Amino acid sequence: MVDQRTHFHAELEGLEQSIHEMGDRAHELIGMAVHALVTGDLDAAGRVREGDHVIDQLYLDVHNRWINLMARQQPMGADLRLMSVLLHMNVTLERTGDQAVNIAKLAALSHGLPMSSRIVEQVQEMGDLVRPMLRTAIESFIRRDADEARLLPAMDEPVDRINKSMYREVVALGADPQMLESATHMMMAARALERIGDQSVDIGEQVVYLVTGEFHDFNEEALHDRGSQG
């Protein structure tokens, strides 16, 4: 059957390309922000803010194109699901960019403060865990691979674990006010990274919806699984 809506489908594809680009840029920003925080590289922190500005522009552009496309083309079926997923991912990825900026700001605030190397290592590890998550989320979206998307909750578990252990680490630092300030910043950065992990899981949920047409909340499923095991 011949495609009767080539113009619409071309525009839809263009929209998806923009989302891919946002995903790539967000992925890059996370790495850059964690690097800035861990090494105290203020140039990198500045580049993160510039990068987020590009993501924000993309966000606005996608939003405008999305609403026009929705108003004018009345998508149906798979196209409609894709539109819904694109809108969701647009918001999610914009926030991912914001989280990267937050981490970069923490890098600036922490500049010159003494740091607990153990905590820094943990933040670094979280960064190393979260970036592949976002990559997996975007890749599974590009390939429409629901099975790959379903791996994300499991990938998120170590991130959550490290985030929870951070609190104990910070308390253990004791009374050094300078150390405490930098450690608090690190905790906030860990929280930002934990949010990025959650956002990747959200994207995974969207991918499963896009492919199967049914929406599953991964967290609830995980709870349910645990409940039935225990």
Partner 1 sequence: MSDTETAIPMTDETEQQIDITARLRNASSTDSSHMPMEIEDAVIEARGLGVYYGEFRAVRDVSMRFGKNEITALIGPSGCGKSTVLRCFNRMNDLIPSARVEGTVIYNDTNIYAEDIDPVEVRRRVGMVFQKPNPFPKSIFDNVAWGAKINGFKGSKSDLGDLVESAIRQAALWDEVKDKLNESGYSLSGGQQQRLCIARAIATNPDVVLMDEPASALDPIATLRIEELMQELKKDYSIIIVTHNMQQAARVSDRTAFFSVDVNDAGMRTGRLVEYGLTDRIFTAPENDETEQYITGRFG
Tell me which residues touch partner 1 (CB under 8 A). 4-8, 49, 52-53, 56, 59-61, 63-64, 67-68, 71-74, 94-95, 98-99, 101-102, 105-106, 109, 188, 191-192
Q: Is 60 or 223 the residue whose CB approaches partner 1 more closely?
A: 60
CB of 173 to partner 1, least distance (A): 19
Closest approach, Cβ 108 to partner 1, in A, equals: 8
| CB closer to partner 1, 28 vs 56 | 56
Shortest Cβ distance from residue 110 to partner 1 (Å)?
Answer: 12
Can you list the positions of beta strands (E) in the chain?
none
Best CA proximity match to 106, nearest among 11, 199, 182: 182
CA atoms within 13 A on the CB side of 74: 0
Other Cβ atoms less than 10 A from the Cβ of 201: the count is 23
Kindly tell me which of 59 and 141 has the beta carbon lying closer to partner 1.
Answer: 59
DSSP code of 213? S
In the complex, the smallest distance separating the C-beta of residue 170 from partner 1, rounded to whole angstroms, is 16
First to last CA, the chain: 52
Residue position matching structure tokens 């496309």: 69
By beta-carbon proximity to partner 1, the closer residue of 10 and 223 is 10
211 vs 94: CA distance, rounded Å: 23
